[in-house]
Amino acid sequence: MTKAGLKKYGIRLLQSLLLPVCFMVFGMTVSAKASAGRVLFISSYSYAWDTVQLQIEGIQSELDSGIVLDYEFMDTKRVDDEEALRLFHDGLKYRLEHVEPYDAVILGDDAALMFAMKYQEELFPKVPLIFEGVNDEALAEKAAEDPYITGIIEKLSPENNIKLGLAVNPQASRVVAVLDDSITGEAERKHFLECREKYPDLTFSEINSFKLSTSELRQAILSVPEDSILIYVTMTKDASGTLYDDFEAIKMICELANVPVIRMVEGGIGEGLLGGNIVSMRESGRLAAQMAEKVIGGMDISRIKMMDSPNVYCVDMNIMDKFHIDESVLPENTTRINERGGFFKRYKRVLIPLIVLFCLLSGIIAVVCVDNLRRRKLLGQLENARKTIENASQHDFLTGISNRSKFMDDLTDLIGRKVPCTVIMLDIDDFKHINDTMGHKAGDEALQQVAQRMKEMESQILTPYRYAGDEFIMILRSSQEKIVEKTAYQCRQLFTKPFLLNKSKAKICGSIGIASYPKDTEDLEELIIFADAAMYRVKRNGKNDFAYYQKEEQGEA
């Protein structure tokens, strides 16, 4: 064979060896990009529970954006019987048979873990199961013996919360727990009663909602004496058949109780509870998602050890003030919400940009006057100043919240991306009467306090804006009925507490109108008009309430 022939033969041989390798590497790369991973979250409860929302927020915050996250809700707080379990099983089985397999399943709270263990072979064969929010330690430890199961035990600490209760009320002679006979209630009752040996001088008792009618339950909470430490554990229904979600239970207990109410989990603090040594449900969800990512990344789940939940102290300073509790009794590193400060602290979101702007402009003038050679640096400072001014232009100076311009930009963006959302229009009733009778200073105070209360409602899916005059508006990044309804009730709650105008308490009411995209309309301008029409229907019908847009209002709008 000639040299040229040998060379040509060598090239062909090299190609025959390299091409399959290249195709294999390319195929592996495409496959990796096409499937980042799939995770299923099964909650024991429903999305209406604050703790479930916090768990989901934690999971979403940790999972890589390429990982698919799906949800299933057992809703055992409302219905917990064999028929409900069978229906959930059958529905889930059908769905699992018609979707791509999941790489990991996250189980929220005890009922979900028990369900997964019972049907593991049938529904989740060799699928990594990661639990969080599980109260029953024996159940968790038994589950963790399975090489395909691990997770985070929800270690509520009645002992630490009783310590906090004694610090808050040194004269306490008894501990009262509000709970029921649900799975969570049974697990925490055991932990609660185990504390009797550590506190022999305290009397331990419970208010079991399962055994009391609605009126008896209200009377029992109302009758808790002032020398008590009151701990809210769970209250899902009473003997009259009345069902309670977290929001309703907390509202009822906090309105009736004559002592501060302690809670051992994160949800609901800021809605009337004092707080306590709490399990962070958000952080528990984040840790569970972290475990799921490790499994998707190729780690054997049997190498991931079960862990205890992260616990922190958290209190509402409004409740501390209400019961005249000195914050010096709080443990170190206690997280404080609704903490009050001086003028600068309250308005720093407005003042800091203005101060920064003033300093930057002063510096720019000084640099120009002193040294003309620093023009490049000057141009950079001018650009920073421009950005600061642009940011200030999107906020209302009087109230500190975003203004109408920012609202229109945000709503245009959401509708442009076809993200379901809801517009909530809020107008202060008889605002002109406040200005006419109490003066414009009182009117400004009313606007500022309404804005501050709306700001306290702000979340990842809810943003408040000042729209015009005494009109405010909110964007809720959801059109789900339950979420919209809950937010509407929270908006109405803005006006339940008195306002402080000219150093005197005053009652202020508001009318609220609601319209959703794309349910009511796909047009941006119509969405605002429909919310406005619903709000004016409330004003015509007596004010101080909320209403959803109705199609018959289209002519009026």
For 204-232, what is each residue's pLDDT tens digit? 999 999 999 999 999 999 999 999 999 99
> Given phi > 0 = left and psi -120 to 50 = alpha, else beta, which region is 503?
left
Least confident of 165-169, 365-369, 388-392: 388-392
Do 158-283+310-337 and 404-553 have matching folds?
A: no
What percent of the chain is modeled with pLDDT above 70? 90
Instruction: Give the pLDDT confidence score for residue 10 in this predicted structure.
Output: 47
How confident is the model over 350-370, as a mean pLDDT? Answer: 81
Q: Provide the 8-state DSSP code for 347.
A: T
Q: What is the pLDDT of residues 492-514, one digit of tens each?
A: 999 999 999 999 999 999 999 99
Q: Using 50, 70 and 90 to split pLDDT, how confident is the model at 124?
A: very high
> Measuring CA to CA, which residue among 204, 191, 205 is closest to residue 160?
191
Instruction: Give the pLDDT confidence score for residue 356 in this predicted structure.
Output: 84
**Residue pointed to by tokens 């306490």:** 172
Distances (CA, A) of 183 to 114, 180, 478: 11, 9, 31
Instruction: Give the pLDDT confidence score for residue 158 in this predicted structure.
Output: 87
Instruction: Give the burial class of 49: count Cβ atoms within 10 A of its Cβ; 0-12 exposed, 13-18 middle, 19 or more buried.
Output: buried
Instruction: Give the pLDDT confidence score for residue 22 in this predicted structure.
Output: 41
CA distance 404 to 330: 41
Q: Is the pLDDT of residue 553 over 50?
A: yes
Q: Is the pLDDT of residue 555 over 60?
A: no
Residues 6+ apart with CB under 8 A from 193: 204
Instruction: Give the pLDDT confidence score for residue 8 in this predicted structure.
Output: 47
> Measuring CA to CA, which residue among 505, 511, 409, 498 is closest to residue 470?
511
Least confident of 93-102, 113-122, 270-279: 270-279
Q: Is the pLDDT of residue 3 over 50?
A: no
The verdict on pTM exceeding 0.75 is: no
Q: Using 50, 70 and 90 to split pLDDT, how confident is the model at 103?
A: very high
Are the C-beta atoms of residues 274 and 318 closer than 8 Å to each other?
A: no
φ and ψ at residue 508, rounded to 5 degrees: -125, 140
Q: Using 50, 70 and 90 to split pLDDT, how confident is the model at 29?
A: very low
CA distance 331 to 314: 10
SS3 content of the chain, % helix, strand, coil (to 5): 50, 20, 30
Instruction: Give the pLDDT confidence score for residue 554 in this predicted structure.
Output: 60
Q: Is the pLDDT of residue 61 over 50?
A: yes
Q: Using 50, 70 and 90 to split pLDDT, how confident is the model at 349?
A: low
Q: What is the pLDDT of residues 393-435, one digit of tens each?
A: 889 999 999 999 999 999 999 999 999 999 999 999 999 999 9
Instruction: Give the pLDDT confidence score for residue 354 in this predicted structure.
Output: 77
Which DSSP string corresponds to 390-418? HHHTTB-TTT-SB-HHHHHHHHHHHHHTT
How confident is the model over 314-323, as a mean pLDDT? Answer: 91
Domain extent listing, the chain: 1-34, 38-154+288-296, 158-283+310-337, 343-392, 404-553
The mean predicted confidence, pLDDT, of the chain is 87
Distance of CA 409 to the CA centre of its chain: 24
Instruction: Give the pLDDT confidence score for residue 403 in this predicted structure.
Output: 94
Q: What is the pLDDT of residues 243-280, one digit of tens each?
A: 998 889 999 999 999 999 999 887 778 889 999 988 88
Residues 6+ apart with CB under 8 A from 3: none
CA distance 308 to 293: 19
CA distance 520 to 525: 12
Q: Is the pLDDT of residue 125 over 90?
A: yes
CATH 1.20.140.10 fits 158-283+310-337, yes or no: no
The SS3 of residue 484 is helix
CA distance 479 to 423: 9
How confident is the model over 528-539, as a mean pLDDT? Answer: 94
Q: Look up residue 277 and give its amino acid.
A: N
Per DSSP (E only), the strands in 196-342 are: 203-208, 228-232, 261-263, 275-279, 307-308, 311-316, 335-337
**3-state per-residue secondary structure call for 343-403:** HHHHCHHHHHHHHHHHHHHHHHHHHHHHCCCCHHHHHHHHHHHHHHHHHHCCECCCCCCEC
The CATH class of the 404-553 domain is: alpha beta
Q: Using 50, 70 and 90 to split pLDDT, how confident is the model at 149?
A: very high
CA distance 551 to 557: 10
Q: Is the pLDDT of residue 63 over 80?
A: yes
Helix or strand (DSSP H, E) at 179: strand 174-179
Fold of 38-154+288-296: Rossmann fold (3.40.50)
Helix or strand (DSSP H, E) at 423: strand 421-428
Q: Using 50, 70 and 90 to split pLDDT, how confident is the model at 335?
A: confident
Rg of the chain in Å (alpha carbons): 29
